[in-house]
Amino acid sequence: MLQRFGDGRDWFFEQRFGLFLHFGLYSIDGWHEQDQWRRAIPAADYVRRAERFNPTAYDPDAILDLAESVGMGYVCLTTKHHDGFCLWDTAQTDYNVMHTPYGKDIVKMLADACHRRGFRLGLYYSIADWHQPNYPNEGRHHELPGPKEGDAPDWGRYLAFLKAQVRELCTDYGEVSEFWWDMNVPEHRDPSVNAMLRALQPSLLINDRGFDDGDFGTPEREYKADAVKGSLAFARPTEACNSVGTQSWGFRRDEDYYTCRHLIESMDMILARGGNYLLNVGPDGSGAIPEEASRILTRIGAWYAKTREAFDGCEPASELTENRKVLLTRRDTTLYVHLAQPAASTAVVLNPIRERPQRAVLLNTGEAVETAVELVPALFQRKQPCLRLRNLPVEQHADETLVVRLDFETLPAEAGQTAGREFEG
């Protein structure tokens, strides 16, 4: 069984698919969210982008319409990325959206739209900071090579600034459901920071990239874990994140987008193991979601609409079979078979399950699937028949992960355990 919190934070297990938004000054030029660092842009030049920040097409309701239409249940916005620019009306620095031609609180606009619609709000905050003068940029990873002119590195002061900022975020924007720390480069531990956030927001879930282990793990672009290792349930609550583009999380004009097939496979693999999937898009400098990113989300949403019953309220159950090319999830007496890798044949053998389901349906199309319980030549040494799904239309649907629903009379877990015992020795 998946671990549950048993309190207001359990929304996380009901809303398994979320939208990640990387949005900031870097969205204007559209190269990479770490433009300042990766292209060594002098700070004095980079900050001038604030003079051009005017995302008049930013429309939180349009963004949430899209998110909702593809089955997402929460959104997580970069309130401050590594560049230090703040998307809200913070009293701690002028390097924020109120001091741009746009002049409106982007976080508040999204928060208000979320609360109006009952959509869950998540806030991302980078600990590394390339602007705030007290942050000790020492040339470690994701840091500027050294202090800028006028900087006064002082970790204690920086922490005070950070705490004041996150306190604002967890006080002035209504209910916050997720807090998403990133880039604790100094690897500083201080559980009091999350404790403060929790006191302000009782149903807040906090990720593991902050000052303690938080509530959930955040593997990134790790969907290609090999099938054997990757098929079992995550040991702790997990939210894997990925972006629609291979190169950048922020808007990139010349992005190399993932294929939908690839993203669907990655999402299926994470959800079937009991994790959540946070899929990122970067609004462009005008604040709009790029057309190609919308198209990809819509395509994934079409697949999710057909298959999400294989995740909602389900438990990971891949241990019921020795077949490591598929993933299994289950709810009551229903088992879902996820063809987690591009199919090598038209059949799936679910050794050692020996029960024949009463019904088998391919969720992608609604069509019935042929099943048999029989001795399979390739497994003849087992001397036991096993469940085989055959004549699956894998060639016709090579562009998405297939999921088969199997309805059993008796619990497949019992079937599996019994068969497993018989195979021992």
Contact indicator for 364, 403 with CB cutoff of 8 Å: yes
Rg (CA), the chain: 24
- Which CB atom, from 76 or from 340, has the smaller least distance to ligand GLC? 76
- Which CB atom, from 221 or from 421, has the smaller least distance to ligand GLC? 221
Nearest distance in Å: CB 249, ligand GLC: 5
Q: Report the residue number whose CB is nearest to ligand GLC.
A: 249
- Which CB atom, from 80 or from 273, has the smaller least distance to ligand GLC? 80
Chain residues in the site for ligand GLC (CB under 6 A): 33-34, 182, 220, 241, 249
- Which CB atom, from 74 or from 249, has the smaller least distance to ligand GLC? 249
- Which CB atom, from 82 or from 330, has the smaller least distance to ligand GLC? 82
Q: Which residues pair with 122 in a beta bridge?
A: 76, 178
Nearest distance in Å: CB 240, ligand GLC: 10
Nearest distance in Å: CB 124, ligand GLC: 7
Say which amino acid occupies 237: P
Burial class (CB in 10 A: 0-12, 13-18, 19+), 332: exposed
- Which CB atom, from 220 or from 315, has the smaller least distance to ligand GLC? 220
Residue ranges with strand state E in 183-233 = 205-206
DSSP codes of every residue in 325-381: TSEEEEETTEEEEE--S--SSS-EE-TT--PPPSEEEETTT--B-EEEEE--GGGGG
- Whole-number Cα distances in Å, 269 to 114, 126, 272, 304, 323: 28, 28, 5, 13, 15
Q: Which residues pair with 316 in a beta bridge?
A: 329
Nearest distance in Å: CB 45, ligand GLC: 20
Dist. CA 300–CA 279, nearest whole Å: 10
DSSP codes of every residue in 387-421: EEEE---TTTTTTS--EEEEE-SS-HHHHHHHHHH
Task: Give the closest residue to 349 by CA, choosing from 395, 306, 385.
Answer: 385
Dist. CA 105–CA 110, nearest whole Å: 9
Nearest distance in Å: CB 372, ligand GLC: 45
Nearest distance in Å: CB 183, ligand GLC: 6
- Which CB atom, from 183 or from 347, has the smaller least distance to ligand GLC? 183
Nearest distance in Å: CB 205, ligand GLC: 16
